[in-house]
Chain A
């Protein structure tokens, strides 16, 4: 544990950001929809079941956020990437914080002064480290009925007594020997814990499962590929004709002589949301297995799909496939945020899902039917011209379809997506969504691939590029490096999105792709972190940067807010990006070795990035561990 004060430095691009911030705060006219909000606690990954990441707390506000100081920080002792967020709930009348670490997935309980109360260390098969495609991360826990519930990398789910730190139950639901891992955060709906698997790059088959919160027993399991009985779907209930039919989870995998739906990916490694009024749970599925699209002719259902399911039975209410026959790694696992339907938007039951897909389109769906109300690009999209609202089909640009052995250049967004897994937020105050955006493009060259269990089943040669097309809508901040004849869209772009006009209200340029989530508050402050180590508080209305503090490592975690034992509001976030995002940030952070080549302290369960040239000024890498940071007003 160490204490430190906030370091204030002028971020490299702050001036550019301020210049680019348009003063458009929400839509004129009707009041914005009032979505769900948190209060003193933060009991689930996305704050609210609806996934809004919006807090009613306003002690910290746009008028005083510049004075935020770091109250304490706590190293977790582990060097891998720290995604996710802590929970804060009241236990025995006192607020308690729960931190899930990356592998080995310890659970650390703290009081709100930062004192460790207990640590739970599960057994966790070491084999899982090597089959986790993208670092040994964990996206957090969920709390209900005295239990903290979370996933282990090795395919297990555990419930831990929030008071004592003793394990209540443990259930193994994934086969790590086949390449299945669990990295996503569960959601708790009533007496069910709902989880999904990860590993679409290892030729596994995606599923979601409902477990008993009381004892961990498997209640239901629904696959995302395969026959209707496995998928628990009657596709005649789907809104669009393209998604209707029998056993589409097998018939749309038309590979000759093979049944690739069995290696069809479509995992569930992101987020779940739930609407108590509609009594539905929502999630998106990953890319289809084997990236080479020529190996799997057809739509490849139900990859890149949003599902609405009954949380008690797992039966699908509807499914909508956003990117049929994905050849670009456009998972749909990003969060589907539930809010009341905005004024003028006709829906069956008054609720919409808002979802910022990797494919670059901002979707608004009728939450009861899956009908697409709107779909507009929030970043530069070159692979499709639009989404046809009558058919639900994206209009794919034929030249953007990758084929085996051929290079298809200029595909935007890249496999990083216009937005990655880091969750967005919705503000009741402004009516705006806040998106951690990414501007990258790619060339794809699909390659033949052979399925070998427990190894990557991919087949794609990628060439990442900044987006040099700076004129195609939507507009974005442009970076022109000193001495360079050309500019490109800022690799990271923090976007305030107005759902009423389907356009950016303002955005902030960031030097590196944004991989950290967003918190919005009733104090009109929005918080986010960057890969190059900045943690920022900005004015939710116009993007004015109110506070920036530099950590020893970058941020891929998601800020939260809560009330401490003293009745004062706090904000907490992790730093530590691990090896994989380190590929864009000058190397792993925390690094394994210090500047003299000596092994640092801290447990190393990830892999070292090879040294790469930094894309921006990055912190010196003094950290030897991921760190929990907690902020308050002085």
Chain B
């Protein structure tokens, strides 16, 4: 960390946020990326978007669940991310043009719209066809 990387501490913050004092062991059972609240949907458009969110390293800057970190939280702009993804932005967002398709952009928007809803995918094993975790 640098070790204290954004994703690390955002994860830490997520864990600590759930740890009202007095503390107990159970309060810290949650994990960072997964969030410890079940997998959520593992198929469908939002799930496909979640896979891309992790695979394309969106999570590294914007947070495992888009809570923000190195980059801002963006799920309130879920329908309006295509231009930034494709062309990049000046303050550190690289251009993904050539790395994502229009269909994939739609999946990403579907995932962002799902955040903080009952249908939010929370799995971590993005590389599995049907994520097991």
A interface list, Cβ under 8 A from B: 126-134, 183, 198-201, 267, 269, 286-287, 329, 331, 333, 358, 405, 407, 415-417, 420-421, 443, 445, 447-450, 452-458, 461-466, 468, 481-486, 488, 580-581, 583-584, 607-613, 615
Contacts and interface: CB of A to CB of B under 8 A. Distances in A.
Contact of B4 (A415, A466, A611, A612): A415
B92 A331 contact: no
Contacts of B69: 607
Interface of B: 1-25, 28-34, 36, 54-57, 60-61, 64, 67-73, 89-94, 96, 99, 124-127, 133
A405 B13 contact: no
Contact of A613 (B1, B20, B125, B133): B20
24 contacts: A127-B92, A131-B70, A133-B2, A133-B6, A198-B2, A286-B3, A416-B1, A420-B4, A443-B31, A445-B124, A452-B96, A454-B92, A455-B57, A461-B33, A461-B64, A466-B28, A481-B22, A484-B23, A583-B16, A607-B68, A607-B71, A607-B72, A612-B16, A615-B16
A126 B21 CA distance: 39
A457 B36 CA distance: 23
A456 B57 contact: yes
Given A447-B54, A454-B94, A463-B15, 5 more contacts: A201-B7, A407-B31, A415-B4, A456-B7, A581-B4
Contact of A464 (B2, B28, B36, B57): B28
Given A447-B124, A456-B61, A610-B13, A201 B33 contact: no
B3 A126 contact: no
B14 to A, nearest CB: 8
A464 B19 CA distance: 11
B16 A613 contact: yes
Contacts of B21: 481-482, 484, 615
Given A267-B2, A448-B126, A464 B94 contact: no
B11 A461 contact: yes
A609 B69 CA distance: 7
Contacts of B57: 449-450, 452, 455-458
Contacts of A580: 4, 6, 9
Pick from A358, A449, A455 the residue with the most CB of B within 10 Å. Answer: A455
Contacts of B17: 610-613
B16 A358 contact: no
A252 to B, nearest CB: 21
A447 B12 contact: no
Contacts of B29: 463
B70 A456 contact: yes
Contacts of A465: 15, 25, 28
Contacts of A198: 2
Contacts of A134: 1-6, 9
Contacts of B30: 463
A331 B3 contact: yes
Nearest to A465: B28
Contacts of A466: 23, 28
B12 A331 contact: no
A126 B93 CA distance: 11
A610 B9 CA distance: 11
A133 B1 contact: yes
A246 to B, nearest CB: 30
Contacts of A483: 22
Contacts of A612: 13-14, 16-17
A128 B91 CA distance: 7
Pick from A128, A452, A611 the residue with the most CB of B within 10 Å. Answer: A452
B13 A609 contact: yes
A610 B6 contact: no
B32 A461 contact: yes
B7 to A, nearest CB: 6
A183 B5 CA distance: 13
A449 B69 CA distance: 19
A357 B94 CA distance: 34
Contacts of B89: 130
Contacts of A333: 2
Nearest to B64: A461
A447 B126 contact: yes
A94 B77 CA distance: 54
B32 A462 contact: yes
A407 B92 CA distance: 32
Contact of B93 (A130, A329, A462): A130
A129 to B, nearest CB: 5
Contacts of B91: 126-127, 129-130
B4 A416 contact: yes
A609 B17 CA distance: 11
A329 B1 contact: yes
Contacts of A453: 94
Nearest first, the 8 closest Cβ-Cβ pairs linking A and B are A130-B92, A456-B60, A583-B13, A484-B22, A463-B31, A455-B57, A461-B33, A465-B28
Nearest to B9: A583
A586 to B, nearest CB: 10
B3 A329 contact: yes
Contact of A129 (B14, B24, B92): B92
A464 B3 contact: no
Nearest to B61: A456
A234 B9 CA distance: 38
Contacts of A416: 1, 3-4
A581 B124 CA distance: 25
A583 B96 CA distance: 29
